[in-house]
Every structure is written in C-alpha cells, then in structure tokens.
Amino acid sequence: MSQEKKILNNFQDPNKNIALIVYGLQILGILTGGIAWIIGIVINYVKKDDVKGTWIESHFEWQIQTFWISLFWFVISLILLVTVVLIPVAWIIWVVAGIWVIYRIVKGLLDLLDNKAILLRK
C-alpha cells in the first residue's frame, strides 16, 4: 500500500475524526480561555454513544477526564487568587495543571494518530 493511501485510510473513520477535532478544540481552548474546550466537551458527550465499545471510546473518556480535572484545578486556583496571601500557590497550581493538560492532549493526540487506545486508570 502506498504512503498516500495509508494516510487517507488513517482518516476514514468519522469517529476518529471527531476525536481529532476535539483534541484540536482542546488546544484552541488553551488559547481562547476555554471557550473552544466547552464546544469540545459538548461534542464528546453528544457523540459518546457512537464510540461505545470501540478503541476510540478510550480517547473520549480521556478527553472528558482531562476537561473535568483541569476545570476543578482551575476553579481551585481562582479561589486561591482572591486571597492575597495564596496568590503564589494559585500560580503554581495553574502552571502545574497547564503542563498536565498539555501532556494529556499531546499523549492522546499521538495515540489517536497511531490508532492506539489509551489505557485509563479507573
């Protein structure tokens, strides 16, 4: 099989393309203050039943977990920001959570492009 056909076959699954779009929206969400990320999480929940039982389901779960955990830490850091004394702690949480989010997006995206499921810890 030629390299060109291999690339085309890699993007023929519409559910894989949706997961790819959501990863893109997560990246855009970092740059837009979360607006694009909200669109991505809505897509995850709307299309979740379509991927049930497939390897792509793990990517949807990964994306959903990333959203909710990062939102939790973002809210905690906002609460800490209103206290003058804990502003440095808030910034540390924000930076660590940001690095964690970038790691999860990159790992998920690379695994998706390699047609691999993500091993989730429950």
Instruction: Give tens-digit pLDDT for 2-56.
Output: 555 455 456 688 999 999 999 999 999 988 888 999 999 999 999 999 999 999 9
Q: Where are the domains of the chain?
A: 11-113
Q: H/E/C letters for each residue in 68-81?
A: HHHHHHHHHHHHHH
Closest CA to 101 of 50, 18, 6, 34: 34
- Confidence at residue 85, expressed as pLDDT on a 0 to 100 scale: 82
pTM: 0.85
Percentage of residues of the chain with pLDDT beyond 70 = 90
